[in-house]
Amino acid sequence: MTGRGCQWDKCLFCSDVISVSGRTFRTRSVESVLTEMQEQAQRHDTTNFLFLDLKLNSWPEMLRGIAKGIGGYVQGAEWIGTVHVDLRQDNGLSRADLQAAADGGMRRISFGLESGSQRLLDLMRKGSSVERNAQFIRDAYAAGLSIRCTMFKGYPGETAQDMMETVRFLEEHAPYLDRVRFNDFSLHTGTPIWQAMMEKGGVDAELRATHQDERRARMGYRPTTAPDRAYRRAKLRALDLVYQINRRKVRNAARQFDGLM
């Protein structure tokens, strides 16, 4: 890990910034990270690294610094990590940054796409845009990176129209995506969306809390109204696209990391 927490720290559904890392972002220096990589490479006789940061581009200089510097510390290093395609002018994920990362040994890049609907991204306070996600995917693919994303279905307020926008996004970007994890929405304890719901006595316009799942630190729920036919149809289409993407082989360069994260 190059740092703890997430510089954005605002997604309403996110449990990571609460349960794992506290609510502030702090980073190590690039040199400290590179020195540790050198030490770990010798200790474990490896050149493969997996970064566990919630957002490896919280401080864009970290991503650029690893890409530029790692060759001087670990020859032939290959690595993977997770980013957030945020809307800062410099989010560390420009076409040039992604190419430099690939040239510096990055093999796979993962990110939370969540939805193809801008309305829903805004509802989640995701701090990203459909347009910027699309550009990022194209640039990362052109740089030769294997791309993975997580998404979820059933976010409170999601409509058939939102799901159709997700379908269109997946249709358009399927050729560039190596893997998609399409989860059901989870209502994690302590998240802002959970708090808002608890303040309303466990029920809001879209969801009704059913039981506390202590082991998974989340709340069970039921939608207050059953999804309509158009929504169900769109969801099936999205699932079909995800299935088609996930059964393909991943890009060769990233095969050694298959099964990890």
Q: Which residues contact ligand SF4 by CB under 6 A?
A: 6, 8-11, 14, 16-17, 54-55, 84, 112
Q: Which is nearer to ligand SF4, 91 or 99 (CB)?
A: 91
**Residue 256 contacts by C-beta under 8 Å, 6 or more apart in sequence?**
48, 78, 107
| Closest to ligand SF4 by CB, 121 or 234 | 121
Give least dist CB 56 to ligand SF4, A.
Answer: 11
Nearer to ligand SF4, 86 or 97 (CB): 86
Least separation in angstroms between residue 54's CB and ligand SF4 is: 4
**Would you say 84 or 235 has its CB closer to ligand SF4?**
84
Is the distance from CB of 238 to CB of 182 less than 8 angstroms?
yes
Nearest approach in angstroms of CB 193 to ligand SF4 is 12
List beta partners, residue 213.
218
- Closest CB 5 distance from ligand SF4, rounded Å: 8
Q: Which residue's CB is nearer to ligand SF4, number 15 or number 38?
A: 15
CB of 185 to ligand SF4, least distance (A): 13
